[in-house]
Structure 1
Amino acid sequence: MSVPPHSAGEVVSPDACTHLTGADHVASLTTALRSLDGQLDTLDRWGRLLADVLCGEHRGRLLAAGNGGSAAQAQHLTAELVGRYRADRPPFSAICLTAETSSLTAIANDYPADELFARQVEAHGRAGDVLVLLSTSGRSPNAVAAARRARECGITVLAMTGPAPNPLAAVADDAVCIDSPWTATVQECHLVALHLVCAAFDAAVLVEPARVPETRLGMAR
């Protein structure tokens, strides 16, 4: 099928073609990133919330999940907290629910598909923890089920999705929604958003005076 040429900077819809040229992709990404402009305060707030939970008296935990490329994004987030983002700091408890294959396959074998993340949320999460769910469509049934289970358990649900409105954003406590019809573009913007959350988290954790013991900050890597 021939694809009609597009004007420079024009954002192409999946309804008009089945793929993006390099120029199309960049134009789509540039436009979608603008949808983050009005959500920067939200991402900063998320970083501060994570600092409150993970540095708090009860040393809470972050859980994260998604499907496909969003699973990789979820694991990226937890790695930044257990490891580090930019500044050296202590590790924090963060579990990616897509990474433990034995649990995933056991749940998928014995329970309905929607339980894939929800059962793990119930197992690992505690009231006051935070669950981050990523879905480019915002309609992934297992993510929506996990959000509902988390809310029942007193866990705060933060969602990153594609265009709103969508079921996941509706059931979450808060959501950042990327206004793009292209899955790859939404995922790329989610990565930027995750890094902004990590930057805000580090800023909140390492503010003077630091919210973590000095001896731990100075540990050799």
Structure 2
Amino acid sequence: MTPYQSSLQDALDTFESLRALEEPLSQAAKVVLDCLVSGGKLLFCGNGGSAADAAHMATEFTCRFNGDRRPYPAIALTVDGGLMTAIGNDYSFHDVFSRQVHAYGKPGDVLIALTTSGKSRNVLFAIEEARRRGLRTITLLGKGGGFTAGASEIELIVPGTVTARIQEAQKFLLHALCEQVEVDLPKE
């Protein structure tokens, strides 16, 4: 089997395993829809590729995904380099997301956290802060969930151990979440 064939088979197997996540994805869509319809906002966080996916998803809600509709508030906690480096320097890199959740989050908002390994302390601290502050929590995980498994109200754990396949599956799940939510969002 060539490397391409192996990667393709891994991707197909990973995507096939996502069938088991239909129910938690539907629960996540309801939580997000309820939040946005009631005037709340979404906060996204993650590291590396997950940081880029967090920014991408905040854009999908604030701009639009498929159809034309009004913007909804979504903030990627990953995009302000000055703020993140100040928190990392003055406090700890473990606090770069939790301090922002403390600053921006309010009861009824939703934190959507991404970590392919489930071993990102700053993501775990953000989830814990969100729960203390009354936010709803949704986490997309991989590799069995790591030490973050069990921290969030709703978890979508992508089976597998290959980071690239987990990231691809998480992006699909986030797009599927957008599709489910956007159908019922008020256009005006």
TM range (shorter): over 0.9
How many residues are treated as equivalent by the alignment? 188
Is 1:43 equivalent to 2:13 in the alignment? no
Percent of pairs with identical residues: 32
Q: 1:145 aligns with which of 117, 122, 125?
A: 125
How far apart, CA to CA, are the structure 2 residues paired with 1:182 and 1:164? 12
Alignment of 1:180-219 (within 5 A): 180-205=160-185, 211-212=186-187, 216=188
Residue of 57, 60, 82 corresponding to 2:40 = 60
Two-structure CA RMSD over aligned residues (Å):
1.3
In the TM superposition, residue 167 of structure 1 has moved relative to its aligned partner by 2.0
Matched, 1:120 2:100: yes
* 1:47–1:204 contact (8 Å) kept in structure 2: no
Alignment of 1:50-129 (within 5 A): 50-56=32-38, 59-129=39-109
> Are residues 1:26 and 2:19 paired?
no
Q: Say which of 155, 158, 167 aligns to 1:175.
A: 155
Cα drift, residue 52 of structure 1: 0.9
How far does residue 91 in structure 1 lie from its aligned partner after superposition?
0.3
Structure 2, gaps ≥5 residues long: none
- The equivalent of 1:15 in structure 2 is none
- Residue type matched to 2:110 in 1? V
Q: Distance in 2 between matches of 1:129 and 1:201?
A: 15
Give 1 or 2: higher helix fraction.
2
Displacement of 1:48 in angstroms is: 2.3
1:16: which partner in 2? Answer: none
2:178 maps to a residue whose letter is C
C-alpha displacement at 1:44, in angstroms? 2.4
For structure 1, the residue ranges without an aligned partner over 5 or more in a row are 1-5, 9-20, 206-210, 217-221
**Contact residue 54 and residue 92 of structure 1 kept, 8 A:** yes
Report the TM-score, using the length of structure 2 for normalisation: 0.96
Q: Cα offset for 1:165? A: 4.3
What stretches of structure 1 move > 4 A for 4+ residues in a row? none
SS in 2 for 1:123: helix
User: Could you give the per-residue CA deviations for residues 152-191 of structure 1, whole angstroms, max 9, x where no partner exists?
Assistant: 1011110001032422221111100111110011000011
1:199 shift after superposition: 0.4
Correspondence 1:127-166 to 2 at 5 A:
127-166=107-146
Letter of the structure 2 residue corresponding to residue 47 of structure 1: A
* The structure with more radius of gyration: 1
Q: CA deviation at 1:79?
A: 0.5
